Amino acid sequence: MNVGDRHYRTIWLNGDGWSVDLIDQRWLPHDFRVVNVNTVDGIAVAIREMWVRGAPLIGVAAACGVAMRMREDASDAALDAVWEKLHATRPTAINLRWALDDMRNLLRPLPVSQRAAAAYRRAAGIADEDVEINRAIGTHGLEIIRKIAAGKKPGEPVNILTHCNAGWLATVDYGTATAPIYLAVEAGIPVHVYVDETRPRNQGAHLTAWEMAGHGIPHTLIVDNAGGHLMQHGMVDMVVVGTDRTTANGDVCNKIGTYLKALAAKDNGVPFYVALPSPTIDWTVKDGVKEIPIEERSGDEVSLVWGRDHDGAIRQVRISPDATPAGNPAFDVTPARLVTGLITERGVAQASPEGLRGLFPERARAAA
Ligand code: MRU
């Protein structure tokens, strides 16, 4: 998407032809910084410390890391070691394992001398596929927004609530949950987005709000606890969120707090959609609540909050007593029964084994 008048992806190959440049998201919305990363260790830090984040982007960053390692050492041992190193960076988003498996399965049968070039080609391919998938999700999600708009008075906006950041910063471009919103705006459908701040790291306040403001999309930042109230008062027409891992039966793992939004949506008859790129489906898992590993991050993310001070400096402040311990589960699982539909690149599926199998029969078969 554009930042000012320049088009950016979130990650791209540097002019040197082998290292990568990426948007360091830790400083947004206050500072737009692009950094160069030229080692696998650097990629591992960028993923773990969330310079890059969001399931699809984590996968692409990992693929780039594999390519960098293959340039130094393309042996089987190096391939296995880089898979392990990058896989250990974040446990919940399945796109990480999907991208690492994809790279290893492609590279392993190749002669060592061809692996680096093939790895760079495939990493670029995964990035391009992500963009295409998100565009397609956008076209299917647009139809849902269009139908809701048809039931409103002319000019009245469709009010959409979203959680965390499943926007272009979470992907290579377009975003998953935001792709239908961009297309609705392009189609002239008035929309208004409620942006959950998304404690503890505030990806909604920092990133989604920045994306919406950057594209002139009407939006309002709300605290995470406000969603239920807004839904009770008819102020939300639909919820659309992203996902870090969705099971074969349609259970949706996403940023902590998503489950509470889904409960409130169910109680108030508000449709709850999940934008789901197919690499985010974990065909090996059936029960999301029992089987998906939930990342537990540092309690400092809860006790310390980043922001821009009056003097313009970006600072972190403590909001709780020094002695108070904090827990920080980073994701939760929304059971399939609370999900109205899964918006994939192949269409909108019911959140059920049949729904997902119907759209992706070959993947379901391969995993069986
Ligand atoms: O911890 P993060 O910021 O990597 O988590 C990302 C999310 O949970 C996003 O909201 C998302 O829906 C998945 S990425 C499209």
Distance from Cα 16 to the centre of ligand 1, integer Å: 30
Distance from Cα 156 to the centre of ligand 1, integer Å: 30
List, in order of start, the domains of the chain with CATH numbers.
2-129 (1.20.120.420), 139-367 (3.40.50.10470)
Enumerate residue ranges in the chain where pLDDT < 50: none
- Neighbouring CB atoms inside 10 A of 25's CB total 24
148-188: pLDDT as tens digits: 999 999 999 999 999 999 999 999 999 999 999 999 999 99
Spatial distance between the Cα atoms of 46 and 96, rounded to a whole number of angstroms: 13
Mutate to test the pocket of ligand 1, among 133, 193, 208, 244 (most ligand atoms within 8 A of CB): 244
Q: Atom 12 of ligand 1 has which residue's CA nearest to it?
A: 242
> Is 101 in the active site?
no
Distance from Cα 69 to the centre of ligand 1, integer Å: 26
Residues within a 6 A CB radius of ligand 1: 53-56, 164-166, 170, 176, 203, 241-244, 254-255, 330
Spatial distance between the Cα atoms of 31 and 242, rounded to a whole number of angstroms: 25
Cut 0.75: pTM above it: yes
Residues whose CB is less than 8 angstroms from the CB of residue 127 and which lie 6 or more positions away in sequence, other chains included: 9, 11, 12, 60, 63, 172
Please identify, by atom number, the ligand 1 atom nearest to the C-alpha of residue 58: 4
253-284: pLDDT as tens digits: 999 999 999 999 999 999 999 999 999 999 99
User: Phi then psi for 334, rounded to 5 degrees?
Assistant: -95, 115
Q: Atom 8 of ligand 1 has which residue's CA nearest to it?
A: 255
Query: Which residue in 150, 144, 142, 180 sits closest to 270, CA to CA?
Result: 144
Mutate to test the pocket of ligand 1, among 254, 272, 278, 331 (most ligand atoms within 8 A of CB): 254
| Residue 330 near residue 297 (C-beta atoms within 8 A) | yes
Give the containing element (helix H, strand E) for 79.
helix 76-87
Please identify, by atom number, the ligand 1 atom nearest to the C-alpha of residue 53: 4
Please identify, by atom number, the ligand 1 atom nearest to the C-alpha of residue 331: 8
Q: Atom 15 of ligand 1 has which residue's CA nearest to it?
A: 166
Spatial distance between the Cα atoms of 78 and 57, rounded to a whole number of angstroms: 23
Distance from Cα 93 to the centre of ligand 1, integer Å: 8
**DSSP code per residue over 83-144:** HHHHHTS-SS-HHHHHHHHHHHHHHTTS-HHHHHHHHHHHHHHHHHHHHHHHHHHHHHHHHH
Strands 2-3 and 34-37: unpaired
Q: Residue 51: left (phi > 0), alpha (psi -120 to 50), or beta? A: alpha
pLDDT recorded at residue 291: 97
pLDDT recorded at residue 213: 97
Query: Which residue in 23, 93, 88 sits closest to 58, CA to CA?
Result: 93
DSSP state of 200: T
Mean pLDDT over all residues of the chain? 98
Q: Which amino acid is residue 225, in one-letter code?
A: N
pLDDT recorded at residue 368: 85
